[in-house]
């Protein structure tokens, strides 16, 4: 084996965002760009000689080429074995599962999650640690610091490795083990949920439709929903992973999963609908003519966790990202368990789960998970819902509305303004921060602002501090507006506005969220001067 030491020049833009480094494909195809970042990872984590690494991605364009580069670099950097998903494909939650099951040093996941793919689309790379979760901010900052000064990388001179057949091959002194990308994950799901009860539900005539959006979860859904649980073949749609996701946008929301939405809001709709995203870590839940917000989904799952075999003894606690609604807080209070409010990013939940503080956690951005892995998990959430439905035997809408009657409804919506000019978006945030002293006490109709802040978080486990995590406008009645710049985009800036109002009156629970929040939407646009500063008068996506 010949190890080449290749001279390179550092790039200054390799700062990881909320979940890894994401750029357009042409950026990663620049000379030495991917190699520099991978070497920066290896230099930072300093794995012991002979360590085992997990490697896979969501199958998007450039996935296979990047895997060949990373395998050759892993061999040159002293790894003893790499477990790689068959065909180079491995969903993000499945990668976490494999890291944890086989106790590897960590893993590299290639994905830009819910972002579009293709030659001109997005690509991403992130390092997950030994616990299966995303690298902490301390580690990602160290990787970024290394990337700014790196001047060489190591790679072996060897032929590409066959990725499509399960088995082992040799790459220099390193073993490349191509694994079944589905088997370990499916086995874990069967250990958590009551598969016989779900099979009985599906055998009763209950119909479901799962949209894999031509992304990574297609093979997982076919194996679990169709083969193991007996759902009909046509229950899974868009199940073949494609490099460009069928020219779609693999984000499971009401805008981009429109094909599924049309089915669930059409004539003779199935009883249950669900979708997942590019790398399989997000989920959208639908009933017959009914959309379940991610915030309500997390709350309802927490309230019904004891129905699930894996959580029958109860849950230790729950956690949610700050922009996620307080619906789960009310459940936690009723259950007498702690509820943690964290910044956006699954790495913050990992510390809490490792410490045994929480069992379930979720983000309003269609991410839900538990301590079975250290990532959000789309198909796991779907199975959780199916298990509840198998026991309750009630329509999705009935379950949610009964939950609201017990706990009240946190009316909630998110407005995304995508691809804004970065300076304009940052100007909105600066204006809001500069208004912290003048806004409290101001009244807008029936709403009076109580306080404003820029959310910060001190991790209760490792003491790390995260600042500027989103501007919060808090009202006297408990309603709130949150403004946050997203860390998952690759072009321009995405400004997200989160709107929430608590409604205890069950006679008002059927109001459309946009109607119920109309006054708050006007307040948000007024105090942010968003239309004037950005030139945009409507959101790109409303959820």
If we measure between CA atoms, which residue out of 504, 501, 498 comes closest to residue 539?
498
Give alpha helix (H) positions in 268-344.
Answer: 294-303, 327-335
Phi/psi region, residue 445 (left: phi>0; alpha: psi -120 to 50; beta: rest), is: left
Name the segment(s) of the chain with CATH classification 3.40.120.10: 3-180, 185-407
Q: 161-186, pLDDT tens digit by residue?
A: 999 999 999 999 999 999 998 999 99
If we measure between CA atoms, which residue out of 12, 14, 98 comes closest to residue 55?
98
Query: In the annotation, is 365 catalytic?
Result: no
Q: How far apart are CA 288 and CA 296, in angstroms?
A: 16
CATH number of 409-542: 3.30.310.50
pLDDT at 19: 76
DSSP 8-state code for residue 357: S
DSSP 8-state code for residue 365: T
CATH number of 185-407: 3.40.120.10
The answer to whether residue 252 scores a pLDDT higher than 90 is yes
Low-confidence winner among 83-87, 233-237, 466-470 (lowest mean pLDDT): 466-470
Q: How far apart are CA 227 and CA 229, in angstroms?
A: 6
- Is 521:415 a contact under the CB 8 Å cutoff? yes
For domain 3-180, the question of CATH label 3.40.50.10490 is answered with no
Query: What string of DSSP letters covers 366-431?
Result: TEEEETTSSS--HHHHHHHHHHHHHHH---HHHHHHHHHHHH-EEEEEEEEEEEE-HHHHHHHHHH
Query: What string of DSSP letters covers 98-155?
Result: HHHHTT-SEEEEE--TTS--STTSEEEEEEE-TTSSBPPHHHHHHHHHHHTT--EEEE
350: exposed, middle or buried (Cβ count in 10 Å: 0-12, 13-18, 19+): buried
Q: Produce one character per residue of 32-65: b if its CB has 16 or more CB atoms within 10 Å, e if not.
A: bbbbbbbbbbbbbbebeeebbbbbbbbbbbbbbe
**Given the DSSP bridges, would you call strands 122-128 and 21-24 parallel, antiparallel or unpaired?**
antiparallel
Mean pLDDT computed over 103-123: 94
The whole model's pTM is what?
A: 0.92
Q: Which residues pair with 500 in a beta bridge?
A: 412, 480
Q: 285-319, pLDDT tens digit by residue?
A: 999 999 999 999 999 999 999 999 999 999 999 99
Q: Please give the residue that has the higher pLDDT: either 347 or 28.
A: 28
The answer to whether residue 111 scores a pLDDT higher than 70 is yes
Arithmetic mean of pLDDT over the chain? 95
Residue that has been written with the tokens 């379940």 in this structure: 292
Separation in Å, CA 54 to CA 82, 92, 110, 301: 6, 11, 11, 30
pLDDT at 1: 72
> To the nearest whole percent, how much of the chain has pLDDT over 70?
99
pLDDT band of residue 72 (cuts 50, 70, 90) is: very high
Which of 113, 295, 370, 413 is catalytic? The answer is 113
Describe the chain by its helix, strand, coil percentages, rounded to 5. Answer: 35, 25, 40
Mean pLDDT computed over 247-270: 95
pLDDT band of residue 487 (cuts 50, 70, 90) is: low
Name the segment(s) of the chain with CATH classification 3.30.310.50: 409-542
pLDDT band of residue 486 (cuts 50, 70, 90) is: confident
Q: Which pair of structure tokens corresponds to residue 3? A: 């190890």
**296 backbone dihedrals φ, ψ, rounded to 5°:** -65, -35
pLDDT at 17: 83
DSSP 8-state code for residue 305: G
Low-confidence winner among 71-85, 341-355, 364-378 (lowest mean pLDDT): 341-355
The answer to whether residue 29 scores a pLDDT higher than 90 is yes
- Is 132:90 a contact under the CB 8 Å cutoff? no
């Amino acid at each position: 084996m010949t190890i080449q030491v290749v001279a390179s020049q550092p790039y200054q833009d390799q700062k990881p965002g909320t979940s890894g480094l994401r750029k357009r494909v042409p950026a990663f195809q620049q000379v030495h760009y991917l190699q520099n970042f991978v070497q920066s990872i290896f230099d930072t984590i300093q794995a012991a000689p002979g360590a085992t690494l997990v490697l896979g991605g969501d199958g998007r364009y450039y996935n296979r080429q990047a895997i060949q580069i990373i395998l050759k670099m892993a061999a040159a950097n002293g790894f003893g074995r790499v477990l790689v998903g068959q065909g180079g494909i491995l969903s993000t939650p499945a990668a976490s599962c494999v890291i944890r099951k086989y106790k590897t040093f960590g893993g590299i996941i290639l994905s830009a999650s819910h972002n579009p793919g293709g030659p001109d689309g997005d690509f991403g790379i992130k390092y997950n640690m030994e616990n299966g979760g995303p690298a902490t901010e301390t580690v990602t900052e160290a990787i970024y610091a290394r990337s700014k000064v790196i001047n060489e990388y190591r790679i072996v001179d060897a032929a590409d490795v066959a990725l499509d057949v399960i088995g082992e091959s040799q790459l220099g002194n390193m073993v490349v083990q191509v694994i079944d990308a589905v088997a370990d994950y499916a086995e874990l799901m069967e250990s958590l949920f009551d598969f016989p009860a779900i099979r009985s539900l599906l055998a009763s005539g209950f119909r479901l439709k799962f949209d894999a959006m031509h992304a990574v979860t297609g093979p997982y859904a076919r194996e679990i929903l169709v083969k193991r649980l007996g759902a009909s073949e046509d229950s899974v749609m868009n199940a073949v992973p494609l490099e460009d996701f069928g020219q779609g946008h693999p984000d499971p929301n009401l805008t981009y999963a429109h094909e599924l939405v049309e089915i669930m809001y059409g004539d003779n709709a199935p009883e249950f609908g669900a979708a997942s995203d590019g790398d399989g870590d997000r989920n959208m839940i639908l009933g017959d003519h009914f959309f379940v917000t991610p915030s309500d989904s997390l709350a309802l799952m927490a309230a019904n966790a004891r129905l699930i075999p894996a959580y029958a003894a109860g849950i230790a606690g729950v956690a949610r990202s700050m922009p996620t609604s307080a619906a789960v807080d009310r459940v936690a209070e009723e259950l007498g368990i702690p509820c943690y409010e964290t910044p956006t990013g699954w790495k913050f939940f990992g510390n809490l789960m490792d410490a045994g503080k929480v069992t379930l956690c979720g983000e309003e951005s269609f991410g839900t998970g538990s301590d079975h892995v250290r990532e959000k998990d789309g198909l796991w959430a779907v199975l959780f819902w199916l298990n509840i439905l198998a026991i309750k035997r009630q329509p999705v809408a009935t379950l949610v509305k009964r939950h609201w009657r017990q706990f009240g409804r946190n009316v909630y919506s998110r407005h995304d303004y995508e691809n804004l000019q970065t300076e304009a978006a940052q100007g909105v945030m600066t204006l809001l921060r500069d208004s912290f002293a003048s806004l409290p006490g101001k009244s807008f109709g029936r709403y009076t602002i109580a306080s404003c802040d820029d959310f910060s978080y001190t991790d209760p486990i490792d003491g790390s501090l995260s600042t500027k995590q989103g501007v919060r406008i808090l009202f006297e009645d408990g309603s709130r507006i949150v403004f946050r710049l997203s860390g998952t985009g690759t072009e321009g800036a995405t400004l997200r506005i989160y709107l929430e109002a608590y409604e205890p009156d069950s006679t008002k629970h059927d109001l459309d969220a946009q109607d119920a929040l109309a006054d708050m939407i006007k307040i948000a646009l007024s105090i942010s001067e968003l239309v004037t500063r950005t030139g945009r008068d409507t959101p790109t996506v409303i959820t």
